[in-house]
A = this chain, B = another copy of it.
Amino acid sequence: MLIFIEPESEKPIYQQIRDQIVEGIARGELLPGTGLPSIRQLAADFGINLHTVNKAYELLEREGFLQVRRKTGAVVQPRGRLAEDWEARLRTLLAEALAQGLPAEEILMRCQRVLATLTEREQPDR
């Protein structure tokens, strides 16, 4: 799985890494048990500091996506719990679209379409 960093983005680098790994898990490219590159390895690849990658891994561990161990590196977790504020964030995002005049049906179709792009040609665990 490839990760792209945009240093000029307004989104913090550690957040970019976090989001792309989450999406990788969602797409099924990163299955439970999959090992991720070491902190120093990733930092070297991107030409960024060790602590920036560490912060991303730390966050992913707190959120239940990864388990970080010594020497083994980060390993994708079988499952976790949805963040408590997830629905609140969804609410704010959907409200934004409604407030700009998008019909609820149109918004729902967009959700459906995005979900489809995330779940297509992916092997669900059996």
Contact = CB atoms under 8 A, between A and B. Distances in A.
Q: Is the interface of A mostly helix, strand, loop or mixed?
A: helix
Contacts of A95: 19, 22-23, 25-27, 118
6 contacts: A65-B100, A80-B100, A86-B96, A90-B110, A94-B111, A107-B115
B115 A101 contact: no
User: Which of A80, A81, A96, A102: most chain B CB closer than 10 A?
Assistant: A96
Interface of A: 19, 22-23, 25-27, 64-65, 79-83, 86-87, 89-102, 104, 107-108, 110-112, 114-119
Contact of A100 (B27, B82, B100, B116): B82
